Structures are given as C-alpha cells and as structure tokens.
Structure 1
Amino acid sequence: MRRTAALGAAGTLVTGTLLAGAIAATPASAGERQHGASAEARGVRTAAARAAAQGIDWQDCPADWGLKTPIQCGYVTVPVDYAKPNGRTIKIAVDRARNTGGAKQRQGSLLYNPGGPGGSGMRFPTRSTGQSALWKKTAAAYDFVGFDPRGVGHSAPISCVDPQEYVKAPKADPVPDSEADKRAQRKLAKEYADGCGERSGGLLPHMTTPNTARDLDVIRAALGEKKLNYLGVSYGTYLGAVYATLFPDHVRRMLVDSVVNPSREKVWYQANLDQDVAFETRWGDWKKWVAKNDATYHIGDTPQKVQAQWEKLRAAAKKKPIGGLVGPAELTGFFQNAPYYDSSWAPVAQVWSAYLAGDEKPLVEKAGPDLKDTAGNIASENGNAVYTAVECTDAKWPANWKKWDRDNTRVHAKAPFMTWSNAWLNLPCATWPAKQHTPVDVKTGKGLPSVLIVQSTRDAATPYAGAVELHKRLKGSRLITERDAGSHGVTGQVNPCINDRVDAYFLHGTTDAKDVTCAPHATPEPAKATAKSASGAQTAS
C-alpha cells in the first residue's frame, strides 16, 4: 500500500484583526534577530501567532491511539515550509495530561521528545497518569505534553518503502565478505533513497531539525505558553539545542539527556562513526557482565568466551537463519539493545541463554519480525523513514563511495559489532533526492537560561564527548555526569544524585554552582533464564 504525507491545507485561519494582534504580541526571538530576519523566522512568527489565537481543541484521544483519559489529544497546524507560511500546511498531533497538583502548583506545560529522529513522544503523558515515581513531583507542577514530530505517526507520516517489504527477513549479512556484497548493499541504499523521494517527496525537503524546532515553537504558542519547558533525550537533545539557538529567549527550562554532539563537523556522518566505536565499548561492558554471571546464563565465563559464542551464533544464523527469519542482521538488531540500555542486559542474556539450552523460540520471537503486526510494521517503517529523512536532509553527506568504504573499513577493524550495519542504514544519504542543508551553528543566544545537561560516560548511542561539546557551546549550562555508567537515557534510571537534581531544576529552576559528577546507578541484577521467562522478556524501546 502506497502511503504519502498528508500535505493538504489543515486548520482554519483566524481573522485578520485577531491575527495582527497576535503577531504584535509575538516579537522576534533573540535567535531570530541573531540569525537575521529570514523568511523562515518571519514564517514562525506568523504560524505561532495563528496557533496562539486558535489554541488546541482538546478531545478524548482516538481509540486506536491507545491513550486513555485523562490524557487528551489534539492537533496544531504548521506550515510545511516556514518560508511560505501561507502555503501548504500539516497537522502535528499532540497530547497532554494535566498537572496532578492543581492550579496552585502548576508551572505550565513540559514538552518531551524521546529521540530518533523518528521517535514519538505521545506516550510521555502516561508518566503522569501512571504516577511514575521518578516523575511524580514534576508531574504535580507541569502538564506533560507529548507530540509526534512532523512526518511521524499521526503527524503527516512519511514512508520510503512498503512496510511489509521493510520488515521482510532475513536480510543480508551487514558485514560484507566481498565487493559484490558491498555493491548489493549500495544498490539497496540507492533504491531506498529513491523510494523516499517517490513516496514522500512533497515533505522530504522540509524534514529538518530546524523545521521541527520551529514546529516546537508553534506548539508552545498553541498551548498558550510564553516560554518553553522542555525535556529531550537522545536526538531530542539536538532538537533542544537547535531550539535553544533559534529561540533562546523563548526557553524557560530545558533539560537534555544523553547528548548528540552538536558540532557541525559531527552532524551526521562523523557522529555515526563515533557511535560505532562507543557501541563497541558498551558491548564490551555487557560481555563482562554476562561472563560474571555465567552461573546464571551459561554463555561463557570470560568476555572472550562470550565473544566467541557471539561469533558462533552469527555464523550459524548466516549459514541457516534461525527459525527461517533470524540471520546476522536480525541478530545485530536485537542484541544492540544490550549496549543501548541497562534494562535490556538481563532480557537479552535470557533469550541467548535459552537458545543455547535448545529453545530457539524466544530468539525468533524477539529478533525476527512479526509479519502479522500490520500496525507495528507501519510504525517501524515510518520511524526508519523519518530517521533517514531528517539525518540525510539536515546535513551534507559524502557522495563518494570510496570515502564511505575507507572510513567504515577502518572503524570496523576496531569496532566490528555494528559498524557496517550502521553504514548501510545511513548510506541512502549518499544519493539523497532532496536538498541537503548546513547544520545550525549551535550556540548561546541572548536570554537563554541555564540548560541542564545529563550524560553517562559510557553511553553507546550518544558518546560522552557530545555532552561536553554542548556544555561548551551553551554558556551557563550545567553538566551532570554519571560516571562509569552507560545506559542511554539517564533520567529514566533510579539514581538519587541525578533524580533529585532533575526535580530541583524543573520545580525551582535551581542548578548546582558547579558541574556535578554522580556515582553510577545500580548494575542490573541477573535473571535466571528459563524458556518461560525468556519468551516473555521485554527489551527497552
């Protein structure tokens, strides 16, 4: 089924008199003045004024969105192209849970982006309604607001390939054995890029982080907030950094967690090579943990033995895909959950242990696609399409295959776990059918308050150097470092040294006088591997 972005006009424009008054009440931000009165800057002011006048028509969420009352849903209309605010528009899906502490405690709305690019923030309000212990105090003070960024989910979703084709398995081994293997992967990447242009070409040129940051400012205005309270994780940190640069005096409080390096030299080609090295480091941490708990998992009692078992598993899956669905590519996709998240250490080890004990069902269920899950497959394909579109459109990528080959061959030699897999994922950017831009020069603008940065030193997905770089660029920011830890998404971990400071920042706007280093959160406990527990193991998402 062919799916294209919904690019028709959406929403009703307010009257000229009301609109003029709203624009007058929305002066250009310091970032806009700093970057000149560009057409995009003027377009944001126009769109924000309209949104402020219209507000959001909050309703019970559609039943198939899986968001129950008291969470409410609505839409905010934004331009496809901010240089043409009176042109085509799309609707951005938003949802909220009202603050739990009543009117006296309310400090406004807290907007959230979980990363990606391509991640949906629509589950964020459930942290409030579910009374998550980590977020209970913040939920008392803020409406928790989530949104699907442009191109994602319910916000004019884009697509690059038929979802059922996207999830077909097994895929080719990402580690090439020959030049013929590389040519085959290059062909697939080119076809994927072409598919993005064919299926989503109308929105593709506008799928950038700066445009999503502009959408964020329009959402702020629609919520009736003069200033933004924001929590961004992973790619959400880069979105926050770009917003802080473009709209510094529109920020009230901003916390960024697990930071993408904002340097123009890193976004996005070099950032992915750096990520490969960091994943190898965290893969090593997990192997040590598995070896330490060999009495539970029986995989190997040294990291070297665990690695040997991994290579044996890959070889067996390459020769004969496990369950007919799980080859080396699918194994890498599943096992990379362990370097990503501590919460996946035990579940991934359980599944592997069960396989070695003769039960392959958990591994097939977890690593292989569910071809019958139509909604899930659509969401998976959409997420990858947005990831590719944003990264490829945000920045200029090398077009010369020799550079890709040389760089990834070099990195693979020291970081073989996922280097080639990551390379093929990003290779569509080499033949991208839309204009590639120059990334925003992230830096402090007039009026930007202290931004709180939280980062673990051994994060695989967003290496620690990214937090250091952002800290340098945002004057007055504070950096909380979790040493000797590597889970992606630090604020989701139980660590009072961090949790208490997050509460203090959002509730009172306070930060430490100096940067802080915290001890690591607790190391995951092993869970005994049984066929039943392995089959029910859940990995982080």
Structure 2
Amino acid sequence: MRRTAVFGSAGTLIAGTLILGALTAPAAGAATSHGRDDEAAGAAVAADRAARAGIDWMDCPADWGLEKPIQCGFVTVPLDYARPNGKKIKIAVDRIAATGTPAERQGALLYNPGGPGGSGLKFPRRVTTKNAIWANAAKAYDFVGFDPRGVGHSAPISCVDPTEFVKGPKADPVPDSEADKLAQRKLAAEYAKGCAEKSGDMLPFMTTRNTARDLDVVRAALGEKKLNYVGVSYGTYLGAVYGTLYPNHVRRMVVDSVVNPDKNNIWYEANLGQDIAFEGRLKDWMNWVAQHDDAYHLGKTYTEVQQQWVTLRAAAKKSPLGGKVGPAELIGFFQNAPYYDSMWAPVAEAWSAYAAGDPQPLIDSAAADLTDTAGNIASENGNAVYTAVECADAAWPTSWNKWNADNSRLHKKYPFMTWANAWMNLPCATWSTPRQQPTQVKTGKGLPPVLIAQSERDAATPYEGAVQLHKAFKGSRLITEKNAGSHGITNLVNPCINSKVETYLLTGKLDSKDVTCEPHATPKP
C-alpha cells in the first residue's frame, strides 16, 4: 500500500495523508442494494462477452509512454456487476509477447503493483528494458499490465484539482492543538465532498471485489482459461480476493509484500499497524546513516541522527525550506527510505547536503513540481482511488473520539507517520457511499498452491500479513527475507528469492516447506 498525501489548504492534500468526508447518497441501484450472487452472475456474463470479443490490440498512444513492441487495448466491464447490461467502463490493458519459442509459451502473466491506485501498465517494460530478474519468465509468458478501474486510462476518478492537490507547503500533519485537528477534519470534509461531486457515480463501485471481477473479465478477454498473476503490496490483497472469488480460475499466483487480509484488519487496523512498522524501519535506516557518518555527517549514533531529523522538521515548520518544503513535504520525501532500501542513499544524500549548508537538493527532492502536469494528474488520481477503494471496501469507525484516541496514543511512541496516516484515511469516517463487509479470504475448491514473499521488517505491509495469508491459503509457501525490510522484494536482486519465484512461474513447483532467505545486499553510500 502506497500513500503520499496529507491535507493542506483549500481541501488539497500532500505527501502523507487524507481525511474525513460527507459524500452524497448513492444513486439508486448502487452496489450494496444487490446480493453478491447477482454480482457473481453478472461477472460471469461479462467474462463470457469478453471471451467472445477479445481485445483489439494496437500500438500504444504516444502519451502513454510505452514503447513498441508493447501493444495496448481495452476490455469492457460493467460499472455495477449486479447490472451487467447497465453502464459500462473500459479497462486499459497492455502486453508484450513472450520472448521464447511457441513451445515455451505458457500464457499471459498479469501484474498489479499496489495502491490502491497504482497503474500496472509499466509491467511489460520489464522486457523492453531487459530486466534480468524476469528474463526467463518473459520467455514463457506474455507480460500483461492494466489500469484498475478508476485509475489512469480506466475511467479515471478525481476528487480535487490536480494543481491544488500538489501545491505546497501543506499544514504540519502533527497537530499542536485541538484547533489544528478541527482544521484537518474540515479539510477532510471538503476533500470528500470533492470526491462525490467529481466522481460520485463511480464511488459505490470502487471496491476490491469489483476490481477482482474486472481481473477475471480481462483474463477471459485474453483467451486464458486460468490466471497467472503477480501482485505486490495492495496487489496481494487483490490477489487474495481474486483467489477467494475464483479459486478454480487460478493457475499460478505470486504475492509479494502482503496486506494482512484478515477481515478485521481491512482497512482501519491495517493503517494503524503501518504507523508502528514505519517507525521501526525508519530506525533501521537511521542506524545505517549513523554507521556511514563518514559519508553523511549526520551523527554517529541513532540518537544523534534522530535528533537531526527533529531539528530539520522544526526548521521546516518555522519557515518552509525554499518556501516550498514544510514538515508534511519532508514526511512525504523521507518516507521513501523506510519503504525502499534503494532510497536509503538518495534521501540521506539530500539530507546531508542540507546539513552541510546546501538546501537545494532537499528542496528539489521534496517539493512538488508544479510543471509536471501529467505527474500531478496521476498523483491526484492515485490518491482519489486509494481513498475510494479503502472507504468502500469496509466499514470504518465513525467516532472522531476513537480516531483521536487511537492516533494520539500511537503518536507518543511512533510519531513519524501516525498523524499523517490518520489524515490520509479520515475521509472514510464519514464516507456515505455504500460500504461492504470485507471479503473473508479463504481457500476455495481448486485453488492451487500460492507463493508468498515477504521481508521481515516491511513498513508498508508488516510481516504478520504474510503469515495470515499463508494460513488462509492452504498449501501456500512463504519465503521470508530475514533481517530485511524493503517493500516489493521480487524485483530486487536476491538469488534465493529470484530463483524460487522463477521456478514456480515456469514449473509450478514449490519447496516442500517454507523458506528463509538471507537479505539482499545492504545499500552502500
């Protein structure tokens, strides 16, 4: 799960969080007015139609940034699966053909990178950019990406003007007073109202279950009898829901950096769990920075480095760096380090330059680029989808007292992300479109063994998620990368993990028991 937004002025967001909202009542015939049997029947109708229609593949539009020989197309799905003859939307898909011989080809491999709100259209570029980790899998599979409903080129939704969304500096997410909290709550209501005004017809149907149904329709349109799938982060939850709804449609499934699918965890508790995990991984990174004080000069101990963070944050609060980077923007940039080991050195370098008297690298890295129109549209859209899906997937606490108590308690021990994360999700407290009960993820008849990969100290999807999915999907195998914490580990160089993922995708074979791998290489300054 990726987050990058916090509230600032005029109902806009920033890197780190969202908030509260009162949305308009759903239109008649919204998703929850029907039973799941109706939706299952509608999904079967849609898949049958898609299988007959196929996909009209063509060169990708120039502004999609997808080079030949990648091809693009669309798959038509119902907005509301309970009404398969009602309003339709189009799901954008792309593919690159398997690079091996016809005898080597095993079908299509679909991919979701997470979010909710992430686009998977760049997945085929792992072939055009010659990603060695995936080279052998690419011989056997067409690599297929897609924009989930509401994302990118698939009936995109929006909540606010993209320029306003990225504009900074935003308000400090850590409140100093009850007045600060009230201001954030009001901004949340404005944001949620914007979602309803701009995208109200889509919101009741922006659920993980509907995205899983879309995935099955795409499978059918590709002419595939069964799904081969790789999901990362939120993509693991999408895969878990798909595997529960369509167990006998799964051929191979790899899930990497796992959302805890326990229905009591979706989604309020999941976000509280992140606050704790981010603090732990931030400490790992700061310890690494201290170990390399000869390169960064930010302190020789964790305590000294952490104090530098406190000092930097206070300086940005007093006067935003370059007039653009306040505490919220700093959190948005610095959270990259707990997310990804590949960002340990870049974040430390920008911070080190600031401490040495050159603030520009940090400003350039953390401030919004208002000239990046396409990027800002994508950022706002991704945040809108994140909010819509998490709010529609499950019931959320409606009492501000509970939100306030839980986040005040956590902030005392885990201050890095707690309040930023709270504001990110607070719109769900008053989201008035239909809310469903989360899917009870379980092993259904016909589900083959699933491969699960997880690092021990992942901040965005804590390790317990992989353990829970392993329990829920009988016969699955868990690869644990010990003493590591990067998010999304199947695309990192670690032969222990890479070889097992490749063997599974190519042969379907798994180890006889769960596996522990040594960590991938530690970053160097």
TM-score range, shorter chain: over 0.9
Three-state SS of the structure 1 residue aligned to 2:73 is strand
Q: Which residue of 1 aligns with 2:313?
A: 314
| AA matched with 1:128 | V
| d(CA) in 2 for partners of 1:78, 1:190 | 31
Q: Distance in 1 between matches of 2:409 and 2:70?
A: 49
For 2:92 and 2:361, how far apart are their aligned partners in 1? 35
Instruction: Report the counterpart of residue 389 of structure 1 in structure 2.
Output: 388
In the alignment, what sits opposite 1:219? 218
Measure the CA separation in 2 of the matches of 1:102 and 1:125: 18
CA drift at 1:199: 0.6
Q: Hey, which bits of structure 1, 4+ residues long, moved more than 3 A?
A: none
Helix, strand or coil at the partner of 1:38: helix
Aligned to 2:147: 148
Q: Deviations over 1:283-332 (max 9, x none)?
A: 00000000000000111111101110000000000000001010000000
Q: Give the match's secondary structure for 1:96.
A: strand
SS at match of 2:72: strand
2:143 and 2:154 map into 1 onto residues whose CA distance is 19
Partner of 2:186: 187
Query: Residue 255 of structure 2 aligns with which residue?
Result: 256
8 A contact 1:279–1:339 mirrored in 2: yes
Matched, 1:236 2:247: no
Q: In 2, Cα distance between the equivalents of 1:445 and 1:177?
A: 50
1:439-454 matches, cutoff 5 A: 439-454=438-453
Distance in 1 of aligned mates of 2:350 and 2:419: 24
Taking the TM superposition and a 5 Å limit, the aligned residue runs for 1:415-454 are: 415-454=414-453
Taking the aligned partners of 1:105 and 1:411, their CA distance within structure 2 comes to 52
Deviation at 1:354, TM superposition (A): 1.0
Work out the CA distance in 1 between the residues paired with 2:412 and 2:435.
Answer: 30
Unaligned runs of 5+ in 2: 1-34
Corresponding residue number in structure 2 for 1:38: 37
1:207 paired residue number: 206
CA contact (8 A) 1:251 1:448 kept: yes
Distance in 1 between residues matched to 2:436 and 2:159, nearest whole Å = 20
Q: Distance in 2 between matches of 1:246 and 1:116?
A: 20
Match of 2:284 in 1: 285
2:193 aligns to what SS in structure 1? helix
Distance in 2, Cα, partners of 1:387 & 1:86: 27
The 5-angstrom pairing of residues 42-441 of structure 1 reads 42-441=41-440
More deviation, 351-360/275-284: 351-360
Counterpart residue identity of residue 81, structure 1: D
For the residues of structure 2 that align with 1:306 and 1:190, how far apart are their CA atoms? 37
> Unpaired runs of 5+ in structure 1?
1-35, 527-541
Distance in 2 of aligned mates of 1:265 and 1:312: 38
Q: Determine the structure 1 residue equivalent to 2:465.
A: 466
Give 1:103 shift: 1.1
Secondary structure at the counterpart of residue 137 of structure 2: helix
Pairwise CA distance, 1:269: 0.1
Structure 1 residues 320 and 402, CA, compared in 2 at 3 Å: closer, same or farther? Answer: same
Task: State how far apart, in whole Å, the 2-side matches of 1:37 and 1:233 are.
Answer: 26
| Alpha-carbon distance between aligned partners in 1 of 2:374 and 2:283, rounded to the nearest angstrom | 35
- Counterpart of 1:288 in 2: which secondary structure? helix
Instruction: Name the SS for the 1:128 alignment partner.
Output: helix
State the alpha-carbon separation in 2 of the partners of residues 270 and 333 from structure 1.
Answer: 21
Secondary structure of residue in 1 paired with 2:490: helix
Shift of residue 374, structure 1, vs aligned partner? 1.1
3-state SS of paired residue (1:287):
helix
Counterpart CA distance in 2 for 1:104 and 1:363 is 52
Task: Give, in angstroms, the shift of residue 424 of structure 1.
Answer: 0.3
**How many correspondences in the alignment?**
491
CA distance in 2, matches of 1:213, 1:92: 12
- Give the SS at the match of 1:454: strand
Amino acid at match of 2:220: A
Q: Residue 115 of structure 1 contacts residue 232 of structure 1 at CA under 8 Å; is this kept in 2?
A: yes
Report if aligned partners of 1:194, 1:432 keep a CA contact under 8 Å in 2.
no
Q: Structure 2 vs 1, CA of residues 66 and 495 (structure 1 numbering), >3 Å: closer, same or farther? A: same
2: CA distance between counterparts of 1:367 and 1:135? Answer: 32
SS across alignment from 1:278: helix
- The letter for the 1-side match of 2:204 is P
CA distance in 1: counterparts of 2:101 and 2:83, whole angstroms: 40
CA distance in structure 1 between the aligned counterparts of 2:357 and 2:50, rounded to whole angstroms: 58
Q: Is the 8 A contact 1:194 1:433 kept in 2?
A: no
Which residue of 2 is the match for residue 495 of structure 1? Answer: 494
* Partner Cα distance (1:377, 1:327) in 2: 19
Counterpart of 1:202 in 2: which secondary structure?
coil
Give the aligned residue type for 2:160.
Answer: V
Deviation per CA, 1:5-52, whole angstroms, max 9, x where unpaired? xxxxxxxxxxxxxxxxxxxxxxxxxxxxxxx97000100110001100
Code of the aligned partner of 2:125: T
Q: Structure 2 length normalisation: TM-score? A: 0.93
Could you tell me how far apart the structure 2 residues matched to 1:489 and 1:519 are? 16
| Contact 1:157/1:382 (8 A) holds in 2 | yes
CA RMSD of aligned residues (A): 0.8
The alignment's TM-score, normalised by the length of structure 1, stands at 0.90
1:167–1:371 contact (8 Å) kept in structure 2: yes
Query: Equivalents in 2 of 1:149, 1:365: separation in Å?
Result: 31
Shift of 1:102: 2.5
Give the aligned residue type for 1:341. Y
- 2:409 partner SS: helix
* Larger CA deviation: 354-363 vs 265-274: 354-363
- What percentage of aligned pairs have identical amino acids? 71
Q: Is the 8 A contact 1:197 1:433 kept in 2?
A: no
Residue pair 1:193, 1:433 contacting (<8 A) in 2 also:
no
Aligned to 1:21: none
Shift of 1:433: 2.9
The code of the aligned residue for 2:377 comes to I
**Separation (CA, whole Å) in 1 of partners of 2:363 and 2:430:** 34
What code does the residue aligned with 2:271 have? N
* 1:213-238 alpha-carbon deviations (Å, 9 max, x no partner): 00000000000000000000000000
In the alignment, the residues of structure 2 paired with residue 156 and residue 122 of structure 1 have an alpha-carbon distance, to the nearest angstrom, of 15
Q: Is the 8 A contact 1:334 1:366 kept in 2?
A: yes
What's the counterpart of residue 6 of structure 2? Answer: none
What secondary structure, in the 3-state scheme, does the structure 2 residue paired with 1:479 have? strand
CA distance in 2, matches of 1:295, 1:427: 42
* Matching residue's letter, 1:507: L
* TM-superposition CA deviations, 1:223-255 (whole Å, max 9, x none): 000000000000000000000000000000000
Distance 2:306 2:82 in 1: 52
- 2:455: which partner in 1? 456
Question: 1 CA distance for matches of 2:221 and 2:101?
Answer: 21
